[in-house]
């Protein structure tokens, strides 16, 4: 089980900040997010734009870092503009 915590202005499409998921093998942070589908789809663009700080087990990581079963991923939104533009769009 991997836990994902969203902080700052980040949240899922349903307004959640904490989730857990099973992974079959080691995956990158990006792959774990992709597996969550619609709930975290907006985070993929923010990762590409470098607007999200990633940590795994309280250590700075990246979207390409490998995640193992039992790890805790924390995603911290930052855009240098006081937090605007990080919430999911409902379009």
DSSP assignment of 65-82 equals: SEE-TT-EEEEEE--SST
pLDDT for the residue 59: 97
| Domain 2-77 superfamily per CATH | Beta-grasp domain (3.10.20.30)
In whole angstroms, give the CA distance from residue 24 to residue 32.
10
Taking the CA atoms of the chain, what radius of gyration do you get in angstroms? 12
Domain boundaries, the chain: 2-77
User: Is residue 73 within 8 Å of residue 36, measured between CB atoms?
Assistant: no
What is the structure's pLDDT at 78? 79
The pLDDT of residue 31: 96
List the chain pLDDT tens, one digit each, 91 residues.
999 999 988 988 888 999 999 999 999 999 999 999 888 988 999 999 989 999 999 999 999 999 999 999 999 987 654 444 445 544 4
Q: What is the pLDDT of residue 12?
A: 87
Q: Where are the alpha helices (DSSP H) in the chain?
A: 29-35, 41-48
């Amino acid at each position: 089980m991997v836990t994902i915590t969203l902080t700052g202005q980040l949240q899922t499409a349903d307004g959640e900040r904490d989730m857990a998921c099973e992974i079959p093998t080691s995956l990158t942070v990006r792959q774990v997010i992709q597996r969550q589908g619609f709930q975290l789809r907006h985070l993929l663009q923010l990762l590409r734009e470098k607007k999200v700080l990633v940590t795994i087990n309280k250590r700075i990581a990246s979207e390409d870092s490998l995640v193992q079963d039992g790890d805790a991923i924390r995603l911290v939104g930052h855009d240098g503009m006081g937090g605007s533009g990080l919430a999911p769009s409902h379009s």
